[in-house]
Structure 1
Amino acid sequence: MPGLTLVDWLRAQDDHTLAALLAARPDLATPPPSESAVLAARAAARASVTRACEGLDTFTLAVLDALVVAEADKEPVSEERVRDTVGPDANPVRVRESLDTLVRLGLAWGADELSVVPAAREAGGMFPAGLGRPSKALDGVDIAGLLADLPEADRRLLTTLATGSPLGRTKDAGVEVPLDEATTPVQRLLAMGLLLRRDAETVELPRQVALVIRGDSPLGTVKLDEPVLDTKQQKSATVDATAAGEALEFLRRTEMVVRLWSEEPAAVLKAGGLGVRDLRKLAREIDTDERGAGLIVEVLFAAGMIGDSAAATNPEWLPTTLVDPWLTATPANQWATLAAAWLDMPRLPGLAGMRDAKDKVLAPLSDDLRRPPAPAERRRILSALAELRSGTGVSSPDGLAEVLAWRAPRRGGRLRDEIVRWTLAEATSVGLVALGALTGAGRALLDSGPEGPAAAAKRMADSMPEPLDHVLVQADLTVVAPGPLEPALAVDMGHVADVESAGSATVYRVTEASVRRALDVGRTAEELHDLFRTRSRTPVPQSLTYLIDDVARRHGRLRGGATASFLRCDDPVLLAEVAAHPAAARLELRKIAPTVLVSPVALADVLAELRDSGFAPAAEDAHGQVLDLRPSGLRLPAPARSRRAGAPSAASPERLQAMVDQLRAGDMAAGTKRGRTVSPSAGTGAADTAATLALLREAIERNRQVWIGFVDSRGVAAQRVVDPFRVGGGVLEGRDVTHGAVQDQLRQYPLHRITSASLVES
């Protein structure tokens, strides 16, 4: 329909089409539009059009460019003309499908003759399809004939501008000479009108010249087909097993970070974030590079397991109380917590180490790394992998970046391709991707909605090696765990031995200090002997037996309590030796009985001082049981749980239908013929209350419908046609007229929210 406006087209659509538009472009529905004119204004706004175009692929954008080049924003154009503008290689079926997509999104409207919103020209940049402005001086000129007579250098210059940007910089742009005096290609082309001068250093190729040079391809070189993705096939089991190994390594390093920062937190920079020195130190401690360490602390931060202490002086990065239950969870559940946090965190760890516009280095954990669209981009990238058959991976991140760039060329900004590379590298480190393929656990995390972490944990548990119930004790007092240990055994080994090296196999070393640590937490010598005797697949060396017995023989002979603290010993000679030691003076020890010493110093400090002096005291409780006084680590309160930062949830069908009904009601009210009106008072924006009351009462007495303009509780202006029933107590009661029928539900409209009112003419 020639001359059909977007408002008219919207009013003519059925409920299903309008609901689909509001679902496809959620920004149009926030807040719910009061009528079609409001919806059309939003749909034609440049920001909204730009946002809608970000989801369009290269071919659909080419069709949109064709509409703009054909000036469909000024008058409707035919589908045939659009197809010709796209080029001879364009499949008519695909062109029609793309047009339907643009119509469904409200970017274009019409059937045989199509129009496009004017903002589409601005959203596509200064030069749609790389075409410059038309020149009125070239209207009716035989451009092809002029081009045929040009020297080769001149034609080559015009071809370069026609296939690239229509702008060119040259010093000859500022020199205006007649044609017969021109000595350079730019001077000759400017004199002939085949180039336009924009300023003293810039020339522009007119649109008519570019279209002639491009010939049958007015849009230039456009990749109409999606690039073929180079893939490689692996067994799904191999992919999952490889990812499980990476996941276990990620968990090991993450646990190390938690334990390190529990004892020695890192400082918070004045501008926020983690300093370079602390990051390098952490990377050395957990045996990875700075990028890997940065990823781990970012994931911990996203999971709420570390936070800024926000102290007035010397703020630090500390673990929160959430790490304690996480440390006791199974490896699969630990992994699922971290993987879900990584997937949904509104931050880009890959930005760390880069510089901003002011040449400042972007630090991990700083606000500079916050990017709200990041979760949607990660899901888009992993979803592209999920489209491939299970076990199929991409040969290189660059190939996937090229495919995703074709699918959404206006999305992602200048870091679009880098985000693809970062995401694949991070997903590989976390264990969601392996050998370029999405794992089974990764698919479960993506596809299962709120249940994703639980489903992913189950899939990852199936891929992880079974926890071992045994170790291998060596003659040199090392203990080898050839794989992940059962949780209880891992705790026991952590008490009695120190980790010497970690990886697919963990090597522990048993020392006097580690045995004493196990005794400190309440283990007896017999329990330690039984641990190694029952859990070792190799014979227990005699040297280990001797070490345990020797430490146990000396351990606990001194017992401490709080006075602030006390020491007791059944051997008065040993207690006298302690009292005579120089450490006793520093600890202010005094004898209160032949077998008891007391001190005002805290018990933990007393025990540490005596141990440094060569004694082996143990702490005890009120019942004489051995206590472990080692600090569990510094903790912050757990942060408040925030809503997962994934893509915004779509409105329900019921909510969409309610918005469509509101549109219909608003359109009906807007098209209603009105009589006497009470308008807003000057300066207040609200109708005069007395005049409004008088008009409403008149409508009730005369059994007339009334048109009202009002502002709802969300501050959204709307208009309705109402059958008034009663007015009083500051409220108008009546039935809202929608679709030409009177609704059964009685509605109330506060008088102070009514901005204007009119009697409805018959």
Structure 2
Amino acid sequence: MSGITLADWLRAQDDTALVALLRARPDLATPPPADMSVLATRVGTRASIARACEDLDTFTLAVLEGLVVAGADSTPVALATLAALLGPDVKPKPLRQALTRLRSLALLWGDDEAMSVPPVTREAFGSYPAGLGRSTGQTYDLSGITEGEQRVLQKLAAGPPIGDTKDASRVVPLEKAETPVQRLLARGLLLRRDPGTVELPREIALQLRGTRPLGPVQVAEPKPRTGAVRQENVDATGGGEALELVRHAEKLIAGWSAEPPPVLRTGGLGVRELRKAAKDLGVDEQRAALLIELVVGADLVANTEAAEPEWVPTTKADVWLAATAEVRWATLAHAWLELPRLPALIGRRDEKDRLFNPLADEIRRAQAPRDRRWVLDTIAALPAGTAIGGAAELAGLLAWRAPRRGGRQRDELVRWTVEEGTAVGVLALGAVTTAGRALLDDGAGNAAKALADALPDPLDHVLVQADLTVVAPGRLEPELADEMALVADVESAGSATVYRISEGTVRRALDSGRTADELHELFKLRSRTPVPQSLTYLIDDAARRHGRLRGGAAGSFLRCDDPVLVSEVLAHPEATRLELRRIAPTVVVSPLPLAEVLDGLRSAGFAPAAEGPDGQVLDLRPGGRRTTPRQRSARKPAAPAVPADERLGEFVRLVRAGDRAAATPRGERVSVPGHLGAGPSATLSLLQEAARARRSVLVGFVDSHGTAAQRVIEPHIVGGGVLEGYDHSYGEVLRFPLHRITSAALVDEA
């Protein structure tokens, strides 16, 4: 039985098939191959085959493994031989579909009577493809073996075909053999590899496996358990998680603006700082770790890289904080989708018992974005109104579809992606949200719009309770949300947010410049419930005490219309620490900054206010520290990028042109030892002579990618550092820089 070479088989494929091959295996096109022989060589490289096998499902891999067992890596095999190896459970239709898939990836070539695979394909299946040992070419008689010997043979036949045993230390005659292994060795039914290892010949394993030589073959993918769910419920649940994610991120940025945590000497964030962040946010450490990774991944927080580096919000954080909630969510969700890291590893330990810290290099995984999208796309492909039964169900499905992807942590990666996707709001109730689907399909911009459409309209009112709590029964309008965040603290969040008003929060609003009348008006207009009298009294009492002391920069000064109050301040022990000094009956100065003086007086029980040059109240709340955003270099892709089909079509034209040039008969040849201008002018003369005589020339050159190629050119113009001529392979006039030409030969005329 004979077969064609891979290069010849590739030449026989049409351009559409070759473009599909380069699209499915983009590493083959980097750099563009010079001709079909180069392409065939790349197809058969170990790394390229291993990468292509990552996208094969369990059954297609079994078919490829069957081809290796049949010896298609050295001698072409027939379809009937392969079918016999796969067994009666494999029907013709799925088998042909698998063979078509393998041919489309150039992992298989030839017709059904002479199928071949690249020689290094055998290495993709380890030392024992299908769990079978080496072939001896012999026929074995298994009659007369004992039950113990049968058990040994059956165990090794199931794979792997080698076993460790002390009985292989030496081979004894059959009459002196005492154990099943010794008797099998004596009869030649086991092979002795070394004093501690035996191997079962392939022929015996195939005989014991009977009608299923490759063992059980799982032809169809498993059907995961699913459930029905309404998309409206999915979007509502996911929208709540999205808003909660944004709220926590805002709080984290605010906290780190005031108190940036230090960067560990080895990079990352310390355990103590993680615990503090979790406590401040009111979440568990795993959720806090995910939030930290997201704000850094979105470039809202960065390492200052100073002498004593800290994690500080960037100037991008201010733009982000000014955006709408849905835009803020889309930024974080997109950062998660493209995050080349595994936040779920944080808090675990590696094989050397070293702890994985947030933001540390040890949790970087280049394949993480690809694997994350793989899981999400699988859930998104379910019919509308269908939710996956659980992460374990999904892991089983993906394990069949791509058993070589994900490595040892594949099943955990699926579970982590589902958990993180739910926390981010891309998933909810086991299904993809509308906003999550938009994120997967179109990016952050459309995702923000989808979330805005899915969320209920923002509310313009709140419900003030008699116990000084305020209930927001849904998402508030941005202006009202800002006002409530100023005058009250969040007590609990969820579908309804509960705020708590206290003297301190009212004072905070007054410090920012709000007046008592403005606060009364706020609750009067925005509350759907009657404003309790206790809230009115609280605001009036705080306003009456607020601002009686006025501070300015002198370092700082205090003024008050009541000399008795000034005396009371000076009599307090805090006045000594603040270095207060009376310069008039109603004026006190201090060399300390105004903010420090006011904070000290507030801690002593007074209620001073900051004053500007015009006498109006100033908001001295710190704006928080900021650092410049990172100039992040483009992330190195985990796999070669796939060019557009137009570009791939151009690559195919290049390959075919190189093939035609290689087959062109050559006459007089001139090689260029160096730069044309620095060496002999023979090549230039040959090209000029060919232009005058209208002779075609086989030109060797190096293209802009550094790839050597050849073209059959009919020169029109030679000069000015350029060869311009008709390219017979392309059917058009092209220009070639003379300094890139490495050789030239006249084409023999027929």
Indicate whether 1:274 and 2:269 are aligned: yes
* In 1: Cα distance, 2:48 partner to 2:676 partner: 29
Which deviates more, 411-420 or 468-477?
468-477
Indicate whether 1:501 and 2:459 are aligned: no
**Alpha-carbon distance, 1:580 to partner:** 5.8
Question: Aligned partner of 2:115: which letter?
Answer: L
- Matched-pair contact (CA < 8 Å) for 1:427–1:433: yes
* In 2: Cα distance, 1:593 partner to 1:723 partner: 100
In structure 2, what is the equivalent of residue 490 of structure 1?
481
Helix, strand or coil for the counterpart of 1:55? coil
Question: Aligned partner of 2:64: which letter?
Answer: L
Which deviates more, 642-651 or 706-715?
642-651
* In 2: Cα distance, 1:738 partner to 1:744 partner: 8
* In 2: Cα distance, 1:759 partner to 1:271 partner: 63
* Aligned counterpart in structure 2 of residue 181 of structure 1, from 176, 181, 189: 176
**Aligned counterparts, 1:621-636, within 5 A:** 621-636=612-627
**Alpha-carbon distance, 1:7 to partner:** 0.9
* In 2: Cα distance, 1:685 partner to 1:378 partner: 52
Which deviates more, 362-371 or 724-733?
724-733
* In 1: Cα distance, 2:107 partner to 2:344 partner: 35
* Aligned counterpart in structure 1 of residue 255 of structure 2, from 227, 244, 260: 260
Residue deviations 1:740-761 (CA, integer Å, cap 9, x gap): xxx432312333x333332322
* In 2: Cα distance, 1:375 partner to 1:340 partner: 11
**Alpha-carbon distance, 1:38 to partner:** 0.9
Helix, strand or coil for the counterpart of 1:72? coil
Which deviates more, 458-467 or 332-341?
458-467
* Aligned counterpart in structure 2 of residue 302 of structure 1, from 297, 301, 323: 297
Residue deviations 1:201-241 (CA, integer Å, cap 9, x gap): 22222211111111221211221111121111122222222
* Aligned counterpart in structure 1 of residue 458 of structure 2, from 449, 453, 467: 467
In structure 2, what is the equivalent of residue 98 of structure 1?
98
- Matched-pair contact (CA < 8 Å) for 2:676–2:738: no
User: TM-score, normalized by length of structure 1?
Assistant: 0.92
Helix, strand or coil for the counterpart of 1:722? strand
Relative to structure 1, is the Cα distance of residues 713 and 562 closer, same or farther in structure 2, using a 3 angstrom cutoff? same
* In 1: Cα distance, 2:707 partner to 2:220 partner: 44
* Aligned counterpart in structure 2 of residue 200 of structure 1, from 195, 198, 206: 195
* Aligned counterpart in structure 2 of residue 350 of structure 1, from 344, 347, 355: 344
In structure 2, what is the equivalent of residue 558 of structure 1?
549
Which deviates more, 643-652 or 346-355?
643-652
* In 1: Cα distance, 2:194 partner to 2:353 partner: 32
* Aligned counterpart in structure 2 of residue 237 of structure 1, from 232, 237, 251: 232
**Alpha-carbon distance, 1:517 to partner:** 0.9
- Matched-pair contact (CA < 8 Å) for 2:347–2:356: yes
**Aligned counterparts, 1:477-556, within 5 A:** 477-556=468-547
Residue deviations 1:133-182 (CA, integer Å, cap 9, x gap): 212xxx242x2xx2232111111111112213122222223332223222
**Aligned counterparts, 1:425-464, within 5 A:** 425-447=419-441, 449=442, 452-464=443-455
In structure 2, what is the equivalent of residue 115 of structure 1?
116
Helix, strand or coil for the counterpart of 2:600? helix
* Aligned counterpart in structure 2 of residue 664 of structure 1, from 651, 656, 672: 656
* Aligned counterpart in structure 2 of residue 693 of structure 1, from 676, 684, 688: 684
- Matched-pair contact (CA < 8 Å) for 1:339–1:430: yes
Indicate whether 1:29 and 2:23 are aligned: no
Helix, strand or coil for the counterpart of 1:109? coil
Structure 2, unaligned runs of 5 or more: none
- Matched-pair contact (CA < 8 Å) for 1:666–1:718: yes
Which deviates more, 172-181 or 160-169?
172-181
Relative to structure 1, is the Cα distance of residues 730 and 164 closer, same or farther in structure 2, using a 3 angstrom cutoff? same
Residue deviations 1:368-422 (CA, integer Å, cap 9, x gap): 1111221121221111112222231122211111111111111111111111111
* In 2: Cα distance, 1:37 partner to 1:96 partner: 27
* In 1: Cα distance, 2:669 partner to 2:260 partner: 70
In structure 1, what is the equivalent of residue 326 of structure 2?
332
Indicate whether 1:677 and 2:669 are aligned: yes
Indicate whether 1:212 and 2:202 are aligned: no
Relative to structure 1, is the Cα distance of residues 293 and 689 closer, same or farther in structure 2, using a 3 angstrom cutoff? farther
* In 2: Cα distance, 1:488 partner to 1:125 partner: 64
Which deviates more, 524-533 or 718-727?
718-727
Relative to structure 1, is the Cα distance of residues 726 and 129 closer, same or farther in structure 2, using a 3 angstrom cutoff? same
Helix, strand or coil for the counterpart of 1:340? helix
User: TM-score, normalized by length of structure 2?
Assistant: 0.94
- Matched-pair contact (CA < 8 Å) for 1:687–1:756: no
* In 2: Cα distance, 1:103 partner to 1:317 partner: 52
Indicate whether 1:761 and 2:748 are aligned: yes
Question: Aligned partner of 1:735: which letter?
Answer: Y
* In 2: Cα distance, 1:475 partner to 1:465 partner: 27
Question: Aligned partner of 1:167: which letter?
Answer: I
* In 2: Cα distance, 1:516 partner to 1:491 partner: 16
In structure 2, what is the equivalent of residue 724 of structure 1?
715
Structure 1, unaligned runs of 5 or more: none
Residue deviations 1:32-52 (CA, integer Å, cap 9, x gap): 111111111111111001111
* In 2: Cα distance, 1:507 partner to 1:383 partner: 37
Which deviates more, 115-124 or 283-292?
283-292
Percent identity over the alignment is: 59
- Matched-pair contact (CA < 8 Å) for 1:468–1:483: yes
**Alpha-carbon distance, 1:354 to partner:** 2.9
Alignment root-mean-square deviation, CA: 2.6
* In 1: Cα distance, 2:197 partner to 2:246 partner: 57
- Matched-pair contact (CA < 8 Å) for 1:736–1:747: no
- Matched-pair contact (CA < 8 Å) for 2:672–2:683: no
* Aligned counterpart in structure 2 of residue 706 of structure 1, from 697, 700, 706: 697
Helix, strand or coil for the counterpart of 1:544? helix
* In 2: Cα distance, 1:231 partner to 1:185 partner: 50
* In 1: Cα distance, 2:53 partner to 2:505 partner: 63
Residue deviations 1:615-640 (CA, integer Å, cap 9, x gap): 32211223222111111222222334
Which deviates more, 483-492 or 4-13?
483-492
- Matched-pair contact (CA < 8 Å) for 2:366–2:638: no
* In 2: Cα distance, 1:515 partner to 1:169 partner: 78
Helix, strand or coil for the counterpart of 2:315? coil
**Alpha-carbon distance, 1:661 to partner:** 1.1
In structure 2, what is the equivalent of residue 411 of structure 1?
405
Relative to structure 1, is the Cα distance of residues 172 and 690 closer, same or farther in structure 2, using a 3 angstrom cutoff? farther
Helix, strand or coil for the counterpart of 1:353? coil
- Matched-pair contact (CA < 8 Å) for 1:686–1:754: no
Residue deviations 1:305-346 (CA, integer Å, cap 9, x gap): 122121222x22222222223333333332222222211211
Relative to structure 1, is the Cα distance of residues 152 and 685 closer, same or farther in structure 2, using a 3 angstrom cutoff? farther
* In 2: Cα distance, 1:689 partner to 1:525 partner: 93
In structure 2, what is the equivalent of residue 133 of structure 1?
134
* In 2: Cα distance, 1:446 partner to 1:114 partner: 39
**Alpha-carbon distance, 1:729 to partner:** 4.5
Provide the aligned length of Structure 1 versus Structure 2. 747
Residue deviations 1:561-588 (CA, integer Å, cap 9, x gap): 2233333334445445545655455444
* In 2: Cα distance, 1:195 partner to 1:677 partner: 62
* In 2: Cα distance, 1:170 partner to 1:287 partner: 58
Question: Aligned partner of 1:79: which letter?
Answer: L
